[in-house]
Amino acid sequence: MPKITYQDKNGNSKTVEVETGLTVMEGAIQNDVPGIDADCGGSMACATCHVYVEEKWLNKIPKPEEAEVDMIDMAHEPKKNSRLSCQLTVTEELDGLIVTTPEKQS
Partner 1 sequence: MTKADVIIIGAGPVGLFAVHQLGIKGLKSVVIDNLDKAGGQCIELYPDKPIYDIPAIPECTGEELTKNLLEQIKPFNTQFFYNERVDEVNQEKDLWVIKTNQNNFFKAPNIIIAGGVGSFEPRKLSLKEAEKFEGKSVFYAVKDKNFFKKKNISIFGGGDSALDWALELSKFSKINLIHRRNEFRGAPHTLSEIKKMEKEDKIIIKTPCQLEAIEEHENKITSISVKYDDGKIERIKTDIILSFFGLIMKLGPIAEWGLNMNKKTIDVNPENFETNKKGIFAAGDICSYPGKLKLILSGFHEVALASVECFKRARPNEKFRFEFTTSSKNIQERLGKK
Q: Which is nearer to partner 1, 37 or 90 (CB)?
A: 37
How far, in Å, are 27, 71, 92, 96 from residue 17 at the CA level?
8, 27, 11, 10
CA 39, 42, 48, 53: dihedral to nearest 10 degrees?
Answer: 160
Q: Which is nearer to partner 1, 17 or 39 (CB)?
A: 39
**Minimum distance between the CB of residue 86 and partner 1, rounded to whole angstroms?**
13
Residues at the interface with partner 1 (CB under 8 A): 39-41, 43, 45-48, 66, 69-70, 73-74, 76-78, 80, 103-104, 106
Q: Which is nearer to partner 1, 44 or 95 (CB)?
A: 44
Show Cβ contacts of residue 57 under 8 Å, excluding neighbours closer than 6 positions.
94, 97, 98
**Minimum distance between the CB of residue 94 and partner 1, rounded to whole angstroms?**
25
**Minimum distance between the CB of residue 28 and partner 1, rounded to whole angstroms?**
13
